[in-house]
Amino acid sequence: MTGAPVKRYTLFRVFKYAVYLLLTCNVYAFFTENHAAAGAVFAHGLQFGKLIEAYNDSIDTLSWVLLLLVFELETFVLSDDKIRGWVKWSLNAVSAFCYLFILYSFYGYVAEMASLTHLLPLQQSACDLASQGGWLLAVGQDDYVPLTANNCAALADAHVLRQGGIQVLATVDTWNEIKWLAATDVVNAAAWVLVVVILAFDVWLQLRNELSDSMMRYSQVIKVLLYSTLMLCAIYWGINGSFLDFWDAFLWLVAFFFIEMNLFEWQAETSAE
């Protein structure tokens, strides 16, 4: 009888770490997507100040993967007596590094959304701009194609706007879709920041043996609301965004479900003792 629970526990751990591995692979997937978009939008050179805006998805995902590993070490892998001295300071240093880039990525999402408020009418027809070369047509968020004589003709009867500061244009409908997706990015990033702040506070209390059952319940209520918001963002991406955005959001929810389980079991063990 003892073999079945052990086998289920082993399968559970394999599944958990498979999810973590998939999230690590998503870093490369987002880098590829961001690099292609940055090469199109910043064809004349990418300034350092625009780096976070161009690669915000990949930088954000890498920071989150590192932070996820820190939480896994704190809540499951390492025993309480091991999180002392240089181990504790090392984990705190990695966490601080991740929080810095997560907040910076959040700024990148806000900056991207703000840039979409600066849309200008065309001074020339789309086909005139196509003949000049160097212009891009936005067909979705971070999805651009060169503006050519073939695709500009389809814009003749459409209301077309250009984005200020760069040579990108799109129809009003496409800009509206991109704005909603950018706003979803901001809401999603803000909700995740609040989740990890609360989770880090829970871990800090637990290490001090001060995470009571009542505190745990209040924390769970708030996080349920935040996780529900994140689920709605994932669903919106699944309907209107890219599959990669939806898949990444879904995996992160699963991954932090594991962290929450780790914390729940950790707190239950401490209470029993």
Per-residue pLDDT of the chain (273 residues; tens, 9 = 90+): 445 566 677 888 899 999 999 999 988 888 888 777 766 666 555 655 566 666 777 888 889 999 999 999 999 999 888 888 999 999 999 999 999 988 988 888 898 899 898 899 998 899 999 998 889 999 988 788 999 988 888 888 889 999 988 889 999 999 999 999 999 999 999 999 999 999 999 999 998 888 888 888 999 999 999 999 999 999 999 998 888 889 889 999 999 999 999 998 888 887 776
Tokens representing 87 are 């181990």
Strand, coil or helix: what is 83? coil
In angstroms, rounded to a whole number, what is the distance separating the alpha carbons of residues 50 and 221?
A: 38
User: What does the mean pLDDT of the chain come to?
Assistant: 87
* Cβ atoms of 182 and 141 closer than 8 Å: yes
Q: Where on the phi/psi map is residue 98: left (φ > 0), alpha (ψ -120 to 50), or beta?
A: alpha
Q: What number of CA atoms fall less than 13 Å from residue 251's CA on the CB side?
A: 23
* Residue 121, H or E segment: strand 119-121
* Cβ atoms of 188 and 227 closer than 8 Å: no
DSSP state of 50: G
Where are the strands (E) in 40-156, listed by range?
119-121, 136-140, 143-146
* Cβ atoms of 126 and 133 closer than 8 Å: no
Nearest 5°: phi and psi at 176? -65, -40
The pTM of this model reads 0.82
* Cβ atoms of 162 and 122 closer than 8 Å: yes
DSSP state of 258: H
Q: Where are the domains of the chain?
A: 3-117+175-272, 119-174
Closest to 112 measured CA to CA, from 1, 186, 205: 186
Tokens representing 37 are 């978009």
* The predicted structure's pLDDT at residue 112: 87
